[in-house]
Structure 1
Amino acid sequence: MQSELVPEPTRPHPRTLIIMPAWNEEEVIGETVAEVRTALPWIDLLVVDDGSTDSTAETARRAGATVLSLPYNLGVGGALRAGFKYAWRGGYDQAIQVDADGQHNPVDVPRVLEGLQRADISIGARFAGEGDYQARGPRRWAMTLLATTISSAAKTKLNDVTSGFRAANRRAILQYTEHFPAEYLGDTIDSLVTAIRAGLVVTQVPVAMRPRQGGVPSKNPWKSTIYLGRAAFALLIAATRRRTPAPRLKEVEA
């Protein structure tokens, strides 16, 4: 896994944090962290070790990441919420989620962050004209249903609402610290719908997705069917949550 060095912006740039949730990723975390640190040395990197039972935390720390270790496994949603709390308390202006398995190319990070110039949340979308990533069968049906429904709520075209490659400005970071669901698909569907219902603006940026650098992705038709049902249920739960307006930064930071 190699990435070209992304030049540091010549103008002053917002304080940025990469949040990388990881659970038992010792096989790939070291290389992923090293690639991110090489490509983006001007951005801080936090690995949230989600109660791993292997050497994920030690490997990430040796590779150059700051590591926040959770005492037990909370799931991706819980790990990300912890990461956003870290970002808020650390005074970061923006944060971006990056997978620990190497699927997200760090070269695309500045592009996704640029989306924050016009929105509170910027999604790195796999089906918006970049790369050759494809999903088929029930998984694709679920993604299409979710994208259509959430695009209507967001009042903008969103191709890939299940993407975990997304950035948040400080307003969205604060929203996430208070309302980031930890349930299944809470880190993607539920958190996005909750943010939209709170009044946050969402946009997307086309990116190319890479294969996992370790492990074996599931392509089992039965699991894809289960995914379809769970995705629909996650959308239902998100839509029925009580609408809570996004907190105002001036009031919180006063």
Structure 2
Amino acid sequence: MKTCLVIPVYNHERAIVPLLARLERFGLPCILVDDGSSPACRQELIDCAARHRSWITLLQRPSNGGKGAAVVDGFQRAIAQGFSHALQIDADGQHDVDDIPKFLELGCQHPEKMILGAPQYQSDAPKSRVHGRKITNFWIAINTLSTAIGDGMCGFRLYPLTAVGQLLSHSRLAPGMAFDIDIAVRLYWQGVDAVNLPTAVRYPLEGVSHFDLWRDNLKISATHAHLFCGMLPRIPRLLARHWR
């Protein structure tokens, strides 16, 4: 395995510096994707990349296109640089970086599968997020005719880039917060199995979230509906897969 980190960043100037400090010890090359951040965040990212040029590559998008668009840019750069796997992690400090060795170990054991973080919530988790995820996971089970994907929205994941590159060659993925749902379901349709890794998720008081309850839930609902329509002609193949 040749693995890199891919981190989409949008106005996380306060969280990204301590996150990078915690990530450096793992010795993984990192692709930071600035998704049209504010001048303050943009400058912070430029400074970080300059200080850590041995392991950080900075991509700068001219405008904010959404989490999915930023991650796709990171994946395409990783593929161009010859990486076999990309470990996606959010920039807001929610994820437990101490679980990175577990992701890498599972990736070595299952190099053709996607290793998906399965959030273990603490008491600080907003109830709306927790219950919303239950609805999302219900629809993912319908759209895959399986319970293989334990959580559809966790942004802490290890992807096999050969499969991702194949998917990107013929599919346009949701550019915003629905991206994590869209790519997981479509990779599953493509034949990529999932391994679910329990991982702690926290919501720090100083954290910055760009999830808009109404706007993003509407887009997520539209993505589920679109996937449902795509699932219908795949029913025979999905059922045959389960039978095998």
Partner in structure 2 of residue 148 of structure 1: 138
Task: Determine if the alignment matches structure 1 residue 88 to structure 2 residue 54.
Answer: no
Query: How far apart are the structure 1 equivalents of 2:186 and 2:50?
Result: 36
Task: Determine if the alignment matches structure 1 residue 18 to structure 2 residue 8.
Answer: no
The 5 A counterparts of 1:93-242 are 93-116=84-107, 117-118=109-110, 120-127=113-120, 134-137=125-128, 139-152=129-142, 153=144, 155-178=146-169, 179=171, 181-212=173-204, 214-217=206-209, 224=213, 227-241=216-230
Q: In structure 2, do the counterparts of structure 1 residues 91 and 154 end up closer, same or farther at CA, with 3 Å as the change threshold?
A: farther
Given the alignment, which residue of 25, 28, 32 partners 1:47? 32
AA of the residue aligned to 1:159 = G
Q: In structure 2, do the counterparts of structure 1 residues 227 and 174 end up closer, same or farther at CA, with 3 Å as the change threshold?
A: closer
Unaligned runs of 5+ in 2: 235-244
Tell me the secondary structure at the aligned position of residue 100 of structure 2: helix
Q: In structure 2, do the counterparts of structure 1 residues 80 and 228 end up closer, same or farther at CA, with 3 Å as the change threshold?
A: closer
**Structure 1 residues 17-72: Cα deviation after superposition (integer angstroms, max 9, x where no partner):** 1001111222222221122113x12x111101112232242133145222111222
Q: In structure 2, do the counterparts of structure 1 residues 215 and 141 end up closer, same or farther at CA, with 3 Å as the change threshold?
A: closer
Asked if the contact 1:147–1:160 (Cα under 8 Å) also holds between the matched residues in 2, the reply is yes
Tell me the secondary structure at the aligned position of residue 48 of structure 1: strand
Per residue, is there more helix in 1 or in 2? 2
Asked if the contact 1:24–1:53 (Cα under 8 Å) also holds between the matched residues in 2, the reply is yes
Asked if the contact 1:88–1:173 (Cα under 8 Å) also holds between the matched residues in 2, the reply is no
TM-score by length of 1: 0.75
**Structure 1 residues 194-239: Cα deviation after superposition (integer angstroms, max 9, x where no partner):** 21222221221000113347445489xxx54655444322211233
User: How far did 1:126 drift?
Assistant: 0.6
Query: How far apart are the structure 2 equivalents of 1:192 and 1:143?
Result: 14
RMSD: 2.8
Query: How far apart are the structure 2 equivalents of 1:44 and 1:226?
Result: 34
Q: In structure 2, do the counterparts of structure 1 residues 229 and 24 end up closer, same or farther at CA, with 3 Å as the change threshold?
A: closer
Query: How far apart are the structure 1 equivalents of 2:199 and 2:51?
Result: 25
Query: How far apart are the structure 1 equivalents of 2:165 and 2:225?
Result: 24
**Structure 1 residues 86-114: Cα deviation after superposition (integer angstroms, max 9, x where no partner):** 11111111111011111122211121233
AA of the residue aligned to 1:145 = I
Unaligned runs of 5+ in 1: 1-13, 245-254
Task: Determine if the alignment matches structure 1 residue 58 to structure 2 residue 46.
Answer: yes
User: How far did 1:146 drift?
Assistant: 1.8
Asked if the contact 1:32–1:100 (Cα under 8 Å) also holds between the matched residues in 2, the reply is yes
Partner in structure 1 of residue 242 of structure 2: none
TM-score by length of 2: 0.78
- Over the matched positions of the two proteins, sequence identity in percent amounts to 25
